[in-house]
Amino acid sequence: MPPGLGETPAAPAPADPAPGRSRIDPLAAFYLGLPFVALLAVPLYDRRDPTLFGFPFFYWYQLAWVPLTSGLIYLAARRRA
């Protein structure tokens, strides 16, 4: 170990770095979890049909989930208010 590193005094760990924020809102968690299910369950969308504007399903489905994810995060954020 290089000199100095061993005797480095640790900064005090915060007793509670985020007081009152450890509650998890189930509905917000649902909104945030949905994109994972939709995009990681690949067999769900690894298909050609139906096509949209010439895009096979595989492509337009994943592109559609970009604005959907943004909207879901917005809904989760609104739950804070």
Partner 1 sequence: MTLATAVFLACLLGVSGLGFAAARWRRPASLDHLEEWGLGGRNFGAWITWFLIGGDFYTAYTVIAVPALVYATGAFGFFALPYATILYPIAYAVMPALWRQAAEFGAVTAADLARIRHGHAGLELAVAITGILATMPYIALQLVGMQAAIRALGIAGDWPLIAAFLILAIYTYSAGLRAPALIAIVKDVMIWLAVALALSLVPLRLGGYAHVFAAAAAGLKPGGLLLKPGQMLPYATLALGSALAAFFYPHTLTAVLAARSDETIRRNAIALPFYSAILGLIALLGYVAHAAALHPANANLVVPLLFTRYFSGGIAGFALAAIAIGALVPAAVMSIGAANLYTRNIHARLRPGLTPAAQARIARRASLVVKLGALMAIILLPTRYAIDLQLLGGVAILQTLPALVLGLLPHATPSGRVLLAGWAVGLATGIGLAWATALSPVIPIAGTGLYIGLVALAANAIVVASGRVALA
Q: How far is the CB of 31 from partner 1 (least distance, A)?
A: 8
Strand, coil or helix: 59: helix
Output the DSSP codes for 66-81.
HHHHHHHHHHHHHTT-
Q: How far is the CB of 3 from partner 1 (least distance, A)?
A: 7
Residue 38: φ, ψ to 5°: -65, -35
- Residues of this chain that bind partner 1 (CB under 8 A): 1-6, 8, 10-14, 16-19, 21-22, 32-33, 35-36, 39-43, 46-48, 51, 53-56, 58-59, 62-63, 65-67, 69-70, 72-74, 76-77
